[in-house]
Structure 1
Amino acid sequence: MAADLSARDVERAKFAFSIYDFEGKGTMDAFYVGDCLRALNLNPTLAVIEKVGGKTKKKEKMLKVDDFLPIFAQVKKDKDAGSFEDFMEVLKLYDKTENGTMLYAELEHILLSLGERLEKSELEPVLKDCCDEEDEDGFIPYEPFLKRVLAFKI
């Protein structure tokens, strides 16, 4: 499946992999698969990361770059990852006045209750770091929020 990758994608993947090769041995802990994929501008869910071999505990499994390339190719090809445009379309559903804003409370509710839900303790720093201030009616612009969230690296 790594054959589906362009030479540029392979180079990018090798570079990202090398960042997570903390010991310089040509291996990456499978715990960092999700982080490495996100560094490559992908947005895999926790379920996808688990499905492709990512681990929730450190030192359970080590991967070589040749093991990672097919994972990268699979997730890159996966249609469920979502793109900026996909997320914008979803947030536009909550833009009642069609002016690029939505209620802060609705955004909070969405992140706490839909899809891969966040806990309140996980949500607070995300909103603090990525949201503009609410206006007097409780609205925020959602496009800057989305850009910040997608640009955020763990």
Structure 2
Amino acid sequence: MGDKLSAAEIERAQFAFSIYDFEGNETLDAFQLDPALRALGLNPTLKTVEKLGGQKRKGQKKFTIEEFLAILAEAKKDKDVGNKEDFREILRLYDKSGDGNMIFDELKHILLSMGEKLEADEVADIIKDCAVPADDDGFTPYGVFLDKLMAGPVLKEDE
């Protein structure tokens, strides 16, 4: 089933699978499909995760390693994901001066209203962790925001 994956990809997938096998019974709860795929460097949309069998609640479905490898191979083929340059190009549309800055409130609006909708508290956390505060004119550099956002979560020392 994992024949579309390289040996190194299979090894990484098996390791990720073992991390998300919280019960130790060689299965992955479908609720954990999204974080497991993200741990392997993919950035699937919620729609893609659902299409691949991901669940919104724990305990509804389990995957074996063979099923997970097939899902991973399918997820790697999915073109419905973006990369940093795609996102940079989108935010560049809001860069009226062409200087790498955009209006801070537009960034918040984009996160709240476009694509997969985020809740206000989720946006506040993302902004706090990734965005440079607005300058006196209300602008923020979107490149710094994207770099921090795409780098993924960073655990603080007290976590």
Q: TM-score range by the shorter chain?
A: over 0.9
Q: How does 1:73-152 map to 2 (within 5 A)?
A: 73-152=73-152
Shift of 1:153: 4.0
> Are the counterparts in 2 of residues 55 and 61 from structure 1 also a CA contact under 8 Å?
yes
Shift of 1:119: 1.7
1:70 counterpart residue number: 70
Which of the two has greater helix per residue?
Answer: 1
2:157 counterpart residue number: none
AA aligned to 1:123 is: V
> Are the counterparts in 2 of residues 112 and 123 from structure 1 also a CA contact under 8 Å?
yes
Distance across 2 between alignment mates of 1:147 and 1:11: 28
Distance across 1 between alignment mates of 2:54 and 2:133: 36
1:27 counterpart residue number: 27
Look up the SS of the partner of 1:102 in the other structure. strand
Per-residue CA shift, 1:37-90, capped at 9, x if unaligned? Answer: 111111111111111000000011111111111111111111111111111111
Shift of 1:24: 2.0
Look up the SS of the partner of 2:53 in the other structure. coil
Shift of 1:29: 0.7
- TM-score of the superposed pair, with normalisation by structure 1: 0.93
Look up the SS of the partner of 2:124 in the other structure. helix
2:49 counterpart residue number: 49
Distance across 2 between alignment mates of 1:20 and 1:153: 17
Instruction: Count how many residue pairs are aligned between Structure 1 and Structure 2.
Output: 154
Flag as ranges the 4+ runs of structure 1 deviating above 3 A: none
Distance across 2 between alignment mates of 1:148 and 1:73: 27
Distance across 1 between alignment mates of 2:14 and 2:148: 25
Per-residue CA shift, 1:6-63, capped at 9, x if unaligned? Answer: 1111111111111101122211111000001111111111111111000000011111
2:18 counterpart residue number: 18
Look up the SS of the partner of 2:80 in the other structure. helix
2:38 counterpart residue number: 38
Unaligned runs of 5+ in 2: 155-159
Distance across 2 between alignment mates of 1:125 and 1:106: 16
Distance across 1 between alignment mates of 2:120 and 2:70: 35
- Relative contact order: is structure 1 or structure 2 higher (C-alpha 8 Å, sep ≥ 6)? 1
AA aligned to 1:5 is: L
* Range that drifts further, 52-61 or 80-89: 80-89
